[in-house]
Chain A
Amino acid sequence: MFLLLKMVFVISLLIPLAGCWGRLELNDMAITMGLGLDLADDNSYIVSIQVVDAGEASATKGSLGRSPVVIYSSKGKTIAEAMQRMTASSPRTIYNSHLRILIIGEKLARHGVREVLDYVSRDRQFRTDFPVVIAKNDMANSTLKLLTPIESIPAIQMMRALQNSEKHWAPTIAIHFDELIQGLIAKGRQPVVTGVVMIGNAEAGSNRSNIQTTSPKNRLKFTGLSVFRKDRLIGWMTEEESRGFNIAMGKAYRGTGNVGCDDGDKVALEVQESSSKLGSKLRGDKVDLSIDLKIEANVEEVACSMPMTKDETIRELEKRAEATLRRIIEKTLERVQHEMKSDIFGFGEQVHRHYPKYWKKVSNDWDMHFAEAQVKLNIDVKIRLLGTVTNVIEPEDTQ
């Protein structure tokens, strides 16, 4: 008798296992792929989400002609309020766990992102592994509306594009949400965020006809990085400067650079390995900063006629590469250090780690100290491989 009771008890314990209290069926969910945050004129927030239309996005038998994603948008004094209001127009429960990208409108970024990011970090649905971008001169709303070729869900396309270009094109890096938070909280470092621009126009781009040609008129492109101070955007870096920044941080990955030859033409070098170390040295009342950069590169393309098989050539190219890099980084430093006065490299953290007592004194206005500090660059480039051939193609004169 009791045995029966016990068995009933045990089996009944299995029932709560399914967590039925908080169940959400898959076809009751609106899965958010992209989230856009903007600032409205009256200082309230506009929240836009890009939601997958599952039937359309994965249509195997030919699409129904609808767009694979839908944008919902609403306003509110807080992000949470706006999200709630959105449920008035969405037929399904909004589910944020699979967010692929977060876009912040430039106006909001300049106003300050601290408040909006709190919602994302506090809510339990959001993870922290999605990249954040800022819509340059634009509203996140419009950026989300654009339909993209190849990848039917634009948010995924943006995320993938960002990750790919991070690997191959030096000016771009993907800043993930938790990195951004860390950058915001850390006292010795200011965050940077990738920018995205729209070429063309949002309204036209939100139509399917946009992606029905071989070269869509309206598309998105990632541009240079934005520089923050505290939690406000204070300026944009050009592509060159962003490149300099990434190189200085050792994130050049497989970026390609051009080096001038003797005769004015160029040789293209592709970076294979790069590592950089930030250094600081206390000198009395001031601190000297330094960047040690080590790069190993391969020759990718020889567009001039220097003899590739000679040692001196290689060494010469290395020196020129170093000079070029130095120039780029110095330009970046000039802009960031002197013009924008924001320590995006993280020198402050370095100083904190090695000279905690000095850091205590300067931490409150570190950016000013940073602006006045001397940064020494030690760059070392080594060319390793030449690709599969040695010398250039020299067409023989056929006389």
Chain B
Amino acid sequence: MIEERIGVRQLTILVIHFMLGTSILIAPSNLAFVAKQDGWIACMLGILIVAVSVFLYDALARRYPKLTFTGIIEVIVGKWIGKLISLLLFAYLFLLTAFLVRVAGNFIATQILPETPIEAVSIILLAVIVAAVGYGIETIARASEMLFFPVLILLALLVLFLLPESKPTNLLPILERGPKPIMLSAFYLFTLQEVAVFLMLYPNVSKPEKTRLAMLKGIMVGGIALTLTTTFCLMVLGTELTERNIFASYSLAKKISVAQFLRVDAFMAIIWLIALFFKAAISYYGASVALAETLGIRRYRVLILPLGMLVMWLSIIVYQNIVEFLNFTPAIWSLFCICFVIVLPMLLIVIDRLRFGSKPGGQPKTAGKSQEQQPAEQAQQTNDQDQNGDQTQDRQIQDLLTDDQGQAGEQDQQTDNQGQASTPDAGQDKAADQEQLNINGSNNDHMPPPTTQPLQ
């Protein structure tokens, strides 16, 4: 039973924003630094690897469609080890959010508002992020849809106006230093995408069977945008300048002067800020949900405010100066990411198979229900419950999955007693839902129904 629904297209758009987030500004410089003029090849390769990793996540999530990443962890490896690992995952997401906020502050402080202390920018950005997550992932998804077209248009303008100034010969000689720099660079790029964060959102997608396709579409579009940006950086600025400029694509935007007077570099900053905001919001959502699930708290919203203060603190402490950042991010952060982005999912899949065979684990405590009973129960609850539309959809999905896989793959069914339906408050205002969390089935069988209390 998930309350907040993200449409399939919204997922795609979220992924695109996520991919553009930090990468569009920092990646070209890093790519050029390692792979020199072959940076564009490395970019494409990195994106391909990301796309492949989606299949990995899909394999994991398909078995537990209603669980977030932390939920899946706890089901597969057991409660206590699971909580430990979930805590680490939380740390990863938390760190990620802090990084993003800090990088945003750095960029603005360097290029746009040089006299403003970074903290001021960070606080404002953080306030918006916290508020956004407070409104829920659904709201964030809708906002991303709205803000998507400006981003696309601005990117298109970038490409269009730079075409006349681009010199493809700057991309030669190809493969001058062999494939190794390209592979290394692609590896760095791939880990920096951090797409695994979306595993925290999988349960929220309205049509789980379409999740994989949505993610792939998003990755492809985001990847193309990123590759185009990198390629143009190399073609227009040349390898040396791309390496040299920390915010290479911003320098690229500075070169555009429409009719000799219109300067569009501010637009680039806007695109980037929007994309970064969504990346940070999703990461923060993931972090809050991860922490809430680990601690067994049902409403992740409770945590977002104090957690915000901690993010503020961390974002300042996380690195002293930009050189640290540049040295740390590709090398060490990428290895840290690998743990969560590749190693963990793979391990989970393996353990999952070993432990539970063909049926995913963690049947609810009130199990002993056979498959036939479940639809009946569902029907009962459907009738009784304050209708959100969730239930029927739940059932449809359940049927679908049951048909596909022959499993009773639901972890978090409405197995509770109606007596617990506390709020008759029928403000069906989905936009302001207060969300109830679904804890993994193995340790919780009581799921209070969604309280639809609008945030006042």
Contacts and interface: CB of A to CB of B under 8 A. Distances in A.
Nearest to A2: B456
A19 B169 contact: no
Interface string B159-178: 00000000001001100100
Contact of B173 (A2, A13, A186, A352): A352
Nearest to A19: B113
B429 interface: no
Contact of A186 (B113, B238, B244): B238
Contacts of A353: 169, 172-173
Nearest to B171: A353
A124 interface: yes
Contact of B257 (A129, A178, A181): A129
A185 B238 CA distance: 10
Contacts of B124: 13, 16
B322 interface: no
A354 interface: yes
A182 B251 CA distance: 14
Contact of B254 (A13, A16, A127, A185): A127
Nearest to A360: B176
A131 to B, nearest CB: 14
Interface string B434-456: 00000000000000000000001
Nearest to B115: A22
Nearest to B260: A129
Interface residues of A, number: 22
B371 interface: no
Nearest to B243: A185
Nearest to A186: B240
Given A128-B254, A128-B255, A178 B241 contact: yes
A129 to B, nearest CB: 7
Contacts, number: 51
B423 interface: no
A3 interface: yes
B173 A22 contact: no
B110 interface: yes
B256 to A, nearest CB: 10
Contacts of B254: 127-128
B111 A21 contact: no
Contacts of A354: 172-173
A124 B114 contact: yes
B451 to A, nearest CB: 17
A55 interface: no
A185 B115 contact: no
Interface string A12-23: 010010010110
Contacts of A200: none
Nearest to B177: A356
B127 interface: yes
B241 A181 contact: yes
A185 B111 CA distance: 23
A243 B337 CA distance: 57
Contacts of B113: 19, 21-22
Interface string B231-261: 0000001101100100000010011010000
Given A2-B456, A354-B173, A182 B238 contact: yes
Contacts of B115: 21-22
Contacts of B302: none
Nearest to A6: B456
Given A128-B254, A178-B241, A353-B173, A16 B456 contact: no
A129 B120 CA distance: 32
A185 B176 CA distance: 18
B128 interface: yes
A9 B120 CA distance: 16
B128 A185 contact: no
B385 interface: no
B383 interface: no
B428 interface: no
Contacts of B116: 19, 21-22
B241 A182 contact: yes
Nearest to A15: B124
Given A22-B114, A129-B257, A186-B240, 10 more contacts: A3-B456, A9-B131, A16-B124, A21-B115, A22-B116, A124-B110, A182-B237, A182-B238, A353-B169, A356-B173
- 5 closest A-B pairs by beta carbon, nearest first, are A22-B115, A353-B172, A2-B456, A21-B116, A185-B240
14 contacts: A1-B456, A2-B456, A13-B124, A19-B112, A22-B113, A22-B115, A124-B110, A124-B111, A128-B251, A182-B237, A182-B240, A182-B241, A352-B173, A356-B176
Interface of B: 110-117, 120, 124, 127-128, 131, 169, 172-173, 176, 237-238, 240-241, 244, 251, 254-255, 257, 456
